[in-house]
Amino acid sequence: MLSAHIVPLLITTDLPAQAELTEFGELLAGAVRALPAGGGTTFPGHLHGGVFWLGRPAPPGAPPPAAEELRFAALLGFLSAAGPGLTAREVAAAARAAIVPAVTARYGDLGGPPAVITIRADDVRERTPDDAIRVATPPPEAQEQPTAAITV
């Protein structure tokens, strides 16, 4: 029996100061497209939410941050997933298992793994800043359909 869940999530991590939020959001959304399940199988996931910097931006006219400086970034959103006998806790654990290696592969070891935390749905709605960059898991690539020749 398939279980479907919509899990509200907070994902936070340090990123290099010059990192692009749009790229970070796309990385997260793509990482959860195929969530790991037991036995080497996967189940589909779809993330939609908003990414933003936590903390104040540099004031106008301030020098740019040093390359080695880190900034704290976050995503608030909803992860929907369906799989055989899944619980919301298992969906969140699978998201963590997919996101941590994706962020590490892209940005390297930044001192600690990203946090993937379940939260209340109201927190996503109330705490996502208006200027957050919207992201969503891209749809699966359309499978090529064979074309039939029509003869008249």
Q: List pLDDT tens digits, range 52-100.
A: 999 766 667 777 666 678 889 999 999 999 877 788 899 999 999 999 9
Most confidently modeled range among 24-33, 37-46, 76-85:
24-33
Helix axes 88-107, 21-31, angle to 10 degrees: 130
Q: Which DSSP category does 17 fall into? A: T
Look at residue 148 and tell me whether its pLDDT is greater than 50.
Answer: no
d(CA 148, CA 146): 7
- Token pair, residue 114, equals 């990203």
| CATH for 2-57+69-136 (3.30.70, 3.40.50, 1.20.120, 1.10.8) | 3.30.70
* pLDDT of 143 over the 60 cut: no
What is the secondary structure of 1-41 as a DSSP string?
-EEEEEEEEEEEEEEETT--HHHHHHHHHHHTSEEE-GGG-
Collapsing DSSP to helix, strand or coil, 92 comes out as helix
Reply yes or no on whether the pLDDT at 11 is more than 90.
yes
Of the candidates 103, 106, 105, 107, which has an alpha carbon nearest to the alpha carbon of residue 95? 103
Q: Specify whether the CB–CB gap between 67 and 17 falls below 8 A.
A: yes
Average pLDDT over residues 88-114: 92
Q: CA-CA distance, 126 to 70, in Å (whole number)?
A: 26
- The pLDDT of residue 144 is above 90: no
Contact between residue 11 and residue 29 where contact means Cβ atoms under 8 Å apart: no
Backbone phi, then psi, for 35, in 5-degree steps? -90, 135
